[in-house]
Structure 1
Amino acid sequence: MIAKTHEYNIFVIRFTKFMKNIFLILVLCLLSCQDNDSESSQLTNEKAINELVSKADIDALKYTDFVADAQVEKAVSGWAKYRELSSIILDVKSGNLSFFKSNKEIVATLNNELKSTVPEVVSSPLILARIVAVETKMYKLEGVINLSSPTKESILETVKELLVAYSNLNLQMNKQLERESQRIQKPY
């Protein structure tokens, strides 16, 4: 009888240790799954925004799109940050808004460098004001996209504001270089 109770006690002790190990393994598995879930939800959120607003939606926006003419392109050919901004605007026009998703520092750096590296030939208070307008709209779009649940209408409205601000920057540079080319020196 004592041997059976002793064997039973040993069995219970071993079984208890075994169940503790199984419990620990299950807890570790659940905790590790939780980390992957947050990463996948972030990717899902980014995909949701890109699927929420398509190229067709952005093409349907009504605004006047001014492009930089050949004279402006030549004058700003060395302005790397303007080219980077142009590339971002092309991405936005194609429906790719990933630049603005959780990218606050890069957006701020681009805006600061864009303002500080303006070439002399296009540097004027009017153009600097247009650059500040583009900067404001970029921050606004970045804020709208990073909301927990942005609406399609709010994203499209902010995208339109950014595209209009960029278009106005191009128009202002076109006007300034055109005015400078029309200046005629008066004989004394």
Structure 2
Amino acid sequence: MKLRYILLFLSFIGLSSCNEDAKNETVVQEVAVETTSKKITAKMIESLEYRDFALSPEADRAIASWGEYHELGRQLDFLKRGDFSFFNGDKAVLKKFILEFKNKLPEAFETNPIESRIAVIETELLQLNENLTLDNIKNTTRLESIKGLFIAFSNLNDMMNKKLERETYNKILPE
């Protein structure tokens, strides 16, 4: 009779421990799915819709010596491919880049509208850095920050094009 109780007790322990293993496997699989879904891919970035203004040939010639602008353009191209290394790095390096970006602005573009677009780019860069470095930020918020930076850069291009276009029209004298 005691043998029956011992066997019953051991089988109960065996069954209860098997059930815990199944629960642990399920939890591990769910966590793995969550971490893979947190990664932002190049496809997700490509699906962002915004107006992208390119520089006119005149503006391109005017900023030929502005190396920081070209560097930001290259980093945005990397960002479109899903490379976040420049944007989620050290904040001090990013701030130094922003300071050089603002200080080396060509004199032809030192106007209030263009400087305000640069301030927006600065804000978007710092916000993107914060959103990429913090773990508890949702992908939708990160994608909105990426889109905001693309829009800010595009608006800077548009404003530089408009400034040079206005100067061209002002030089034309009526007959």
What's the TM-score once normalised by structure 2's chain length?
0.74
What's the TM-score once normalised by structure 1's chain length?
0.69
C-alpha deviation, 1:85, in angstroms: 0.9
C-alpha deviation, 1:92, in angstroms: 1.3
SS at match of 1:99: coil
Task: Tell me how far apart the structure 2 counterparts of residues 150 and 162 of structure 1 sit (CA, whole Å).
Answer: 17
**Which residue in the other structure is 1:83 paired with?**
70
Unaligned runs of 5+ in 2: 1-34
Residue 130 of structure 1, aligned match among 114, 117, 127: 117
Q: Which amino acid aligns with 1:71?
A: E
SS at match of 2:171: coil
**Which residue in the other structure is 2:57 paired with?**
70
**Which residue in the other structure is 2:135 paired with?**
148
**Which residue in the other structure is 1:58 paired with?**
45
Task: Tell me how far apart the structure 2 counterparts of residues 71 and 146 of structure 1 sit (CA, whole Å).
Answer: 38
Q: Which amino acid aligns with 1:111?
A: I
Task: Tell me how far apart the structure 2 counterparts of residues 171 and 132 of structure 1 sit (CA, whole Å).
Answer: 15
**Which residue in the other structure is 1:157 paired with?**
144
Task: Tell me how far apart the structure 1 counterparts of residues 153 and 172 of structure 2 sit (CA, whole Å).
Answer: 33
Q: Which amino acid aligns with 1:150?
A: I
**Which residue in the other structure is 2:161 paired with?**
174
Residue 93 of structure 2, aligned match among 106, 121, 130: 106
CA displacement, residues 51-87 of structure 1 (integer Å, 9 cap, x when unaligned):
7111111111111011111111100000011111111
Runs of 4+ aligned residues of structure 1 deviating over 6 Å after TM superposition are none
Task: Tell me how far apart the structure 1 counterparts of residues 110 and 90 of structure 2 sit (CA, whole Å).
Answer: 28
**Which residue in the other structure is 2:30 paired with?**
none
**Which residue in the other structure is 1:183 paired with?**
170
Task: Tell me how far apart the structure 1 counterparts of residues 89 and 63 of structure 2 sit (CA, whole Å).
Answer: 29
**Which residue in the other structure is 1:35 paired with?**
none
Task: Tell me how far apart the structure 1 counterparts of residues 112 and 143 of structure 2 sit (CA, whole Å).
Answer: 29
CA-based RMSD: 1.8
Larger radius of gyration: 1
Unaligned runs of 5+ in 1: 1-47
C-alpha deviation, 1:102, in angstroms: 3.2
